Amino acid sequence: MATEHILIVDPVEHACVSLSIILRRSGYFVTVVGEGQQALDQIVQCGNSSRPVDLILTNSQMVGLSGTELILRLQELGIRVPVLVMEGRSFGMKGVPREGVDIIEKPFMADQLLEKVSKALKIKFA
């Protein structure tokens, strides 16, 4: 049984399917949602369960609550979980806390994703 729970947040269904296949084949427990508010709700709900979210893999560009706004809301709520943002070079980190947040630039290969995920899961918050 996988120990790490990864929450994928992306409005593009085929991207979610591809990402979840890669991560599940590598032994991770994966949950998929399509937008930021659903992610926030899922994180809060899972935080009160035996399967909390260990890593958020999010697209920065989403309708409603964007990836950046999701990170800021988590900070406001005092929820500390590593975040890996899937984005091109245009992703702005202005106003986003740097601790526990990393970027993986699109397009990326499966081995690059798994390396970034492994690194992000090792983050220990002060």
pLDDT of residue 91: 55
- Omega of the bond prior to 97 within 30 degrees of 0, cis? no
> In the numeric block, which tokens belong to residue 107?
């397009």
Whole-prediction pTM: 0.90
Domains located in the chain, CATH noted: 5-108 (3.40.50.2300)
**Torsion-angle region of 28 (φ positive above 0: left; ψ -120 to 50: alpha; else: beta):** beta
pLDDT of residue 66: 85
Q: How far apart are the first and last CA of the chain?
A: 28
Q: Are 9 and 46 in contact (CB under 8 A)?
A: no
> In the numeric block, which tokens belong to residue 30?
């994966």
Q: What is the four-CA torsion angle of 114, 9, 100, 124, rounded to 10 degrees?
A: -70
Q: Which residue has the tokens 């697209």?
A: 59
pLDDT of residue 118: 95
In the chain (126 residues long), the average pLDDT of successive 10-residue segments reads 86 94 96 95 89 93 86 91 81 62 89 95 81
pLDDT of residue 101: 86
Query: How many residues appear in the chain?
Result: 126
